[in-house]
Amino acid sequence: MGFIKEFKAFAIKGNVLDMAVGIIIGGAFGKIVSSFVSDIVMPPIGALLGGVDFKDLKVVIKEAHIAVMDGETVITPAVTEVALNYGAFVNTVIDFTIIAFAVFMMIKAVNYAKKKEIESPTPAEPLKPSNEEVLLTEIRDLLKSK
């Protein structure tokens, strides 16, 4: 029973729930950024480069071939294409850059807010005069009274 209680205490902690919400929101944000890059950013860049679709950019290492058959006998098996899809990699790098910039700006804003909170003046106690000031004030008052 102790193990179940311990797990329940861990799973219901605020930090775990906050992390779960952050992961879900992060996943949704990642999809939005991927769509933004592939559907909004890359088409104009591809158009500027002569109608290139970045998703289709690749270096083919081995061409694909369909299977050659003689009736039901396979003479040559089918071969799938082997290629370096550098266009998809470019899209992923741009996705990462946008997400990293958004996270950087969010952290910068949070740090700025924390800094402002720390710098905000707290009501301080009125300053008490030092011993020297008290003595000088007493001497002054004595001299005035004479």
Mean pLDDT, the chain, rounded, equals 83
| Residue 115 vs residues 15, 55, 102, 105, 120: alpha-carbon distances, Å | 23, 43, 20, 15, 9
CATH number at residue 88: 1.10.1200.120
> Tokens 């058959």 appear where?
69
Please give the average per-residue pLDDT across 12-27, as a whole number.
79
Domain encompassing residue 60 = 2-121
Domain membership of residue 141 (yes or no) is no
Kindly report, residue by residue over 23-41, the tens digit of the pLDDT.
Answer: 888 888 888 888 888 888 8
Number of domains in the chain: 1
Condensed to tens digits (0 to 9), the pLDDT of residues 74-126 reads 888 888 889 999 988 888 888 888 888 888 888 898 888 888 777 766 666 67
Residue type, 58: K
